[in-house]
């Protein structure tokens, strides 16, 4: 019997337009009404995800930035797993040497050196994905994400500020050869975990900040067995929780490699695949 459900956001709970369908909202509330613990497990920072959930009326604990931060359903921080500043600088040096665009996720938000480049990249990704056909909708979706990003003149500001904890580095590049070279060099840095939420990006966290690690800690704290846990996701930053959960569910929009690592495949994020997976579990 499923007692806990962990749900990714981008490409999973969210449609391409960054919205949560009514069907998904109702299925989550139905699961909660039956005593099932639902937790959102996202690569996003809290600032990018908390408001979306609030607008949808979804009240759950959260695993943010791939597990760098865990929050209660009241959204109070109960655990953090940041990168050391020294490691963050090493990562930045590798990315900078290959002219790769990157952002820092911290306990105070997400930071970029260039919002113009960020917007162009996001729009290109939405366009290439083909999920959003209308250019106005693409611009609107890109601007939604940019609203939660802060621009700084130098990342040194983050490194020198002791109140800033660095949770994640998100890097983008459309050349797969460049990303492969960057990944190879990053693999030389100890204590980090490298994943991805799209073919155009790399997500770099502390080795302790992975969705699977966070999910294991989350369920253990509540006396729930991982075998009674279902994880729903669509990309490589979900693999660590797929490996931990008793039931791994891939979205219909996931690539074949992800689908092969899961027990079941549900509908796409445009078809309320999350609701389909939840209702299937509730019927058992």
Residues 6+ apart with CB under 8 A from 66: 42, 43, 168, 193, 195, 203, 205, 209, 210, 211, 214, 237
Helix or strand or coil: residue 27? helix
175 is catalytic: no
| Structure token digits, residue 274 | 């999350």
How buried is 142 (Cβ within 10 angstroms: 0-12 exposed, 13-18 middle, 19+ buried)?
Answer: buried
Pick the catalytic residue: 8, 10, 234, 238? Answer: 8
Q: Is 33 in contact with 280 (CB distance < 8 Å)? A: no
**What would you report as the CA-atom Rg of the chain, rounded to the nearest whole angstrom?**
18
Place of tokens 């009674």: 228
Measured in degrees and rounded to the nearest 5, phi and psi for residue 40 equal -85, 130
Residues 6+ apart with CB under 8 A from 278: 5, 27, 28, 30, 31
Measured in degrees and rounded to the nearest 5, phi and psi for residue 4 equal -145, 140
Residues labelled as active-site residues: 8
């Amino acid at each position: 019997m499923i007692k806990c459900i962990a749900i990714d956001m981008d490409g999973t709970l969210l449609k391409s337009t960054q919205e949560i369908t009514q069907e998904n909202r109702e299925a989550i509330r139905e699961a909660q009404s039956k005593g099932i613990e639902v937790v959102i497990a996202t690569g996003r920072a809290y600032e990018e995800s908390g408001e979306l959930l609030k607008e949808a009326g979804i009240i759950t604990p959260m695993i943010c930035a791939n597990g760098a931060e865990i929050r209660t359903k009241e959204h109070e921080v109960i655990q953090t797993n940041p990168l050391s500043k020294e490691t963050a600088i090493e990562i930045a040096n590798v990315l900078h040497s290959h002219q790769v665009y990157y952002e820092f996720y911290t306990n105070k938000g997400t930071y970029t050196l260039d919002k113009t480049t960020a917007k162009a990249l996001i729009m290109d990704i939405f366009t290439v994905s083909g999920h959003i056909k209308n250019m106005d909708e693409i611009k609107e979706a890109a601007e939604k994400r940019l609203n939660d990003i802060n621009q700084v003149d130098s990342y040194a500001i983050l490194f020198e500020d002791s109140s800033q904890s660095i949770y994640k580095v998100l890097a983008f590049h459309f050349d797969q050869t460049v990303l492969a070279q960057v990944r190879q060099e990053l693999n030389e840095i100890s204590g980090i975990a490298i994943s991805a939420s799209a073919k155009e990006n790399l997500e770099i966290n502390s080795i302790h900040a992975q969705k699977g690690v966070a999910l294991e800690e989350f369920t253990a704290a509540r006396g729930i067995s991982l075998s009674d846990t279902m994880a729903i996701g669509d990309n490589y930053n979900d693999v660590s929780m797929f490996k931990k959960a008793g039931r791994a569910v891939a979205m219909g929009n996931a690539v074949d490699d992800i689908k092969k690592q899961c027990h079941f495949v549900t509908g796409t994020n445009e078809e309320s695949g999350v609701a389909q997976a939840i209702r299937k579990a509730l019927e058992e």
